[in-house]
Structure 1
Amino acid sequence: MITTLLVVVIVLAIAFDYINGFHDAANSIATIVSTKVLSPFQAVLWAAAFNMAAYFVFTDHKVANTIAKTVFEEFITLEVILSGLLAAIAWNLFTWWFGVPSSSSHTLIGGFAGAGMAKALTMGTSAFAAVNFAPILKVVAFIVLAPVIGMIISVLISIIIMHISKNARPSTAEKWFKRLQLISSAALSFTHGGNDAQKVMGIIYVAMISAKVLSPGDVMPEWIPISCYAAIGLGTMSGGWKIVKTMGSKITKVNAFEGVAAESAGAVTLGITEHFGIPVSTTHTITGSIVGVGLLKRVSAVRWGVTVSLLWAWVLTIPVSATLAGLTYAFVHYVIL
């Protein structure tokens, strides 16, 4: 039965995807804007188009399935999902406002898990009984692994490109790198859409099961992925310029060659993790890739003070989101409903 609360949850979920789009727009356009290959307006249109194009390729929804299983079914209610979404949206907007490229993925996972834990406490059981630790631990592991993999791949790609173009004239090479950046940024936007849009699909799917509109095992209605990809694409078109500045210049100064290497490394990493159904952070991945190209120049080329502050945001995202979600659930459960 479709209830008002279910409609509110679905609207909030799609709103989260929209916010995810403009929050994470910087991931795929920061380097292409900082190298002046495209203007900011052209870059967001370019990225949005490839965000939405992912709908036609990423049809297995493996990441969505992982997200849906982070909380055990008996602890999932519409109130739990509502609280998790509200907490995730609040943390995303907070970090966006201060220009901190935190992970929308981990915000959502933390919010969902935190609300589920609060629900378990109201049922008189252990908070941890609600959490399915198998997918959660996989996600936590990739907080470290995703940026490291992105960094290693970006270094390898940089070395390969440097070897291939070692005899090229600098002016000619620069022109080619700027053209290649169009391809690498498109690939990053494409895999970003395929990875991140699925996270909200999983939330909407379990919300509909909780409301008994769908049964476990039912095929996901086609309007869910269409809505999620459209929302993340429209969000990307809205920009996210505070985070663009951090990603494009504050970590390390990036030229067109380095932009190609970083974006390609990010796209490869996201493609691999999506294949295995691991909901990794696009933000963490591309940050690691940018650090990789900076390290190849020299260790001092990376602004480690900025990087350390980003690491703190990454570490805090899941526990802060979980705490916010738990408090939100208590308010919703005891005060509103």
Structure 2
Amino acid sequence: MRIQDSGAVAGERSRLTGIAYRLLGSLTEAEDAVQETYARWYALTPARRAAVESPGAWLTTVAGRICLDLLGSARVRRERYVGAWIPEPLPDRTEWGGSGGADPADRVALDESVGMAFLVVLESMTPAERVAFVLHDVFRYPFPEIAGIVGRTPAACRQLAASARRRVRGERTASRPDAEQAAAVRRFKEAWEAKDIGAVVGLLDPDAVMTADGGGLVGTALRPLVGARRIAEYLVFIAGKAPGLTLLERTVNGRPGLVAQHGTDVVTVAAFALDGDGRVTRIWAVRNPEKLTAWTTPAGGPGAPYEPGVR
């Protein structure tokens, strides 16, 4: 049962969820971590809560430690994960149809730091690097406060963040304006729907990589597909094996992407990265149904198509 909080403490929930999602790559786990944070807050006696000078700082410290512990156990779980693990995709507010009744876009601001490419880079970091980098570079927390969360000195935290920053710089891809990415995704959708292998190949970088996440629950490629023609042939093959599949242009983690529906069921959410010439370099296709609960079709339809500049 969800704990009801109020006042200034309640106002921290959105920020804490945003931090936890970036740290964990899962909205479900992020919400659980935040709920545990609030449970610990309300487990304090009224006198101890009154003695806390900054409830926001206290909640952030506890949430950060919970996420740090979860990241350690997540690395072990993901070693047993079937196939590739991709962060849980976030819908735009018009797409939200989950059971919680709240809009994830109201809890997690859809900016560059929740883009799929950025989240995938975060997955390559150690838990301590990820916590130090996200809290400092994204949320501007000072290193002395971060030190209390990761159990290191401020100087060590500074080094952790610097190491993480180098990883981000090394993996950073060209960022196209939303309108350009939307147009590229639309062309890709049309070529895929037409089952035109040549057209799909022409829209992909020759060394493009497609990674799919089925979690062992649905059929999908277990290893990344590398190369434009291999990806195109695979996608056209899949389209031929799934009659009735509908492709929709949707916002995925704040950027133009595609959602595949079979009937009323969302079966795949795809995020894209483009190069400086507008060709697709990376595709992340999430098919694990446990990661698609936020994409349940809300009453009244599947949501609005992507519109640049509209959130």
What TM-score do the two structures reach when normalised by structure 1?
0.27
1 or 2, which has the higher strand percentage? 2
TM-score by length of 2: 0.29
Larger helix fraction of residues:
1
